Structure 1
Amino acid sequence: MPGTSFDPASGAGLPPPVLVELPGGDAAPDGGVRVATYVLEPEGRSPAGDVVLCHGTPWSARVWAPVARALSRDHRVFLWDMPGYGASPKGADVAVDLVTQRRRLAALLGHWSLDRPHMVAHDIGGAVALGAHLLEDVEVASLFLLDIVTLDPWGSPFFRLVAEHEPVFAAVPGPLHAALVREYIAGAANHGLPDDVVATLAEPWLDAVGQAAFYRQIARLSPEHTAPIVRRLGAVRSPVRIGWADADPWIPVEQAARLRAALPGDPGVVTFPGRGHLVPLEDDAAVGRAVRTWLTEVVSGRV
């Protein structure tokens, strides 16, 4: 099992990515693709369990870095940049729809030889994780769903505009594109993130390949790919906790109650007051505590 010893107190970011080659066929219908992966392990102790973190759009595993460091004190933590994002390939030949991404996640868990890991997911990572569980038969020990994209309606007017005019946006002069991306990312957090954090999240999208990939991934995201997941939410087979920022400008906190009603077992909901859609970075300490509390409750059988 590949892994990286990691000191969560060091203040460092994620370790360098390890590129994993996933096969073609059912797991990756685009014919196989490399995936940037990261594994963090406790220092000097046996892990209490395995946790997989799934990011959303237009982010990468970087959005989880502070929470991953906290969880790696006593768990093995697995992260990945979905193809089309972060340090993974972002070329025009890389499929970035949600169906392909959920199949890649299922294949990646097999590569890591993970048996019923805990899954923590944010934004469209929630659709990917739930899709892998419900439609690709991936068994998980638990699900922590944070401000996820699954229920209708989703997809902002900006998403629809890009879908209709993707080539136009891809041809926007670089400086204007960079300003748009930074404003888009900052707005997700209600402009509550430091400029250097916004710049880190924007960086993968700013070269020529990244600019085209930024608009491509938006244009390929479709509610028709989440509809089959929504229809099966009542068939989730693991304990679930829902987390939501109550000032999320992209997905209102009211969706947390709707999601809770659609899932079995009356899952608990934890809210993060005054935080926006990028709550894993806006308040990583609170998110880390909530996830660690959840994992303790699952392991102890209190849920």
Structure 2
Amino acid sequence: MTTDRFDLPEPIFVSVGGDRVATYELTPEVDVPSADVVFCHGTPWSALVWAQAARHLSVGHRVYLWDMPGYGRSARGSQVRTDLATQMSRFAMLLDHWKLERPFVVAHDIGGAVALGAHLIHGRDYGSLFLWDVVTLDPWGSPFFRLVSEHRDVFAALPASLHAALVSEYIAGAAHQRLDRDIVATLTEPWISDEGQPAFYQQIAELRPEHTRPIVDALPRVRCDTSIGWGRQDPWIPVEQAHRLRQLLPGESSVITVPDVGHLSPLEAPSRVQQALDVWLASP
């Protein structure tokens, strides 16, 4: 693995709900009819997780990504809300800003809850939705999540070296097989600055299961085709949730499980994920 998979254009900064949001747009070199594809990332990542897949799809499609406020190159700080309900509303407003009426949406981790919330609560329509290792069904939130929620200020005050080691191990632990050291360093880097350390614990403390329960109740009312992808060895969200999710969604959702892969399918098995996205976009 090399860090060239994180290559994205310089962000276009827009104001969404009063917060500065880093957005990224990739367009085909040849002007041909294509679908609009939007990627949503999870925690503690940013749009970089989807960079390689976005580059792959941009050969034939218009592709949009964003860093949720609190992540990546978007606004951070104690005044920036990072709870799921707020991110759902922001995503709905961002789709309006992009003037996308029925995009194809790819979502990972909490990005799945955000995309579903924009659809089910805020009324945005999608051409189709591909959910990868998503945070939606109970239970979610590891013991580490609960510990941080109860002791956020203590963690935020850790010595910088201990904090950096903790974040690095936490991120590396999302994968089933060991990630390249440079990949882990790139994903860790935003969280180990003076600003990044409190922001890391803030976003964990503000993520609460009560914000996904209305989504779960509304899953039978999803209005678009859905596909589900999951790492079979996901250590954070067990693969059985993929099959539970399929049962709750209307229609005949396809489920793809990727062997020997953990929670970071886009980075652990990029070719397999890209192949799945190609088939998904080519479907009638």
Smaller-chain TM-score range? over 0.9
Q: Secondary structure at 2:173's aligned position in 1?
A: helix
Match of 2:45 in 1: 59
Letter in 2 for 1:19: F
1:156 to 137, 142, 156: 142
Number of matched residues? 281
Q: What is the distance in 2 between the residues matched to 1:170 and 1:90?
A: 15
Q: Is the 8 A contact 1:41 1:47 kept in 2?
A: no
Q: Secondary structure at 1:208's aligned position in 2?
A: coil
Any idea what the Cα deviations from partners look like across 1:153-178, whole Å, max 9, x if unmatched? 00000000000000000000111101
Q: Is the 8 A contact 2:109 2:132 kept in 1?
A: yes
Any idea what the Cα deviations from partners look like across 1:74-119, whole Å, max 9, x if unmatched? 0111000000000011111000000000000000001111110000
Q: Is the 8 A contact 1:256 1:269 kept in 2?
A: yes
1:251 to 226, 232, 237: 237
> Alpha-carbon deviation of 1:191?
4.5
Q: What is the distance in 2 between the residues matched to 1:160 and 1:125?
A: 20
Letter in 1 for 2:89: R
Distance 1:157 1:73, change over 3 A: same
Q: Is the 8 A contact 2:177 2:261 kept in 1?
A: no
Q: Secondary structure at 2:195's aligned position in 1?
A: helix
Structure 1, unpaired ranges of 5+: 1-9, 23-27
Matches within 5 A, 1:77-88: 77-88=63-74
Letter in 1 for 2:230: W
Letter in 1 for 2:103: P
Distance 1:107 1:190, change over 3 A: same
Q: What is the distance in 2 between the residues matched to 1:273 and 1:117?
A: 29
> Alpha-carbon deviation of 1:48?
1.2
Instruction: Write out the 4+ residue segments of structure 1 that deviate beyond 3 Å after TM superposition.
Output: none
> Alpha-carbon deviation of 1:248?
0.4
> Alpha-carbon deviation of 1:120?
0.4
1:16 to 10, 29, 44: 10
Q: What is the distance in 1 between the residues matched to 2:154 and 2:190?
A: 20
1:260 to 243, 246, 249: 246
TM-score w.r.t. structure 1 length?
0.91
1:133 to 106, 111, 119: 119
Q: Is the 8 A contact 1:127 1:149 kept in 2?
A: yes
> Alpha-carbon deviation of 1:292?
1.2
Q: Secondary structure at 1:250's aligned position in 2?
A: coil
Q: What is the distance in 2 between the residues matched to 1:110 and 1:15?
A: 22
Q: Is the 8 A contact 1:246 1:272 kept in 2?
A: yes
Is 1:37 the counterpart of 2:31? The answer is no
Matches within 5 A, 1:144-293: 144-293=130-279
> Alpha-carbon deviation of 1:12?
6.8
Q: Secondary structure at 1:39's aligned position in 2?
A: strand
Matches within 5 A, 1:97-136: 97-136=83-122
Q: What is the distance in 1 between the residues matched to 2:6 and 2:186?
A: 14
Distance 1:257 1:11, change over 3 A: closer
Q: Secondary structure at 1:232's aligned position in 2?
A: helix
Distance 1:11 1:270, change over 3 A: closer
Q: What is the distance in 1 between the residues matched to 2:111 and 2:128?
A: 15
Q: What is the distance in 1 between the residues matched to 2:10 and 2:182?
A: 20
Q: Is the 8 A contact 1:55 1:64 kept in 2?
A: yes
Structure 2, unpaired ranges of 5+: none
> Alpha-carbon deviation of 1:42?
0.9
CA RMSD of aligned residues (A): 1.1
Q: Secondary structure at 1:241's aligned position in 2?
A: strand
Distance 1:185 1:47, change over 3 A: farther
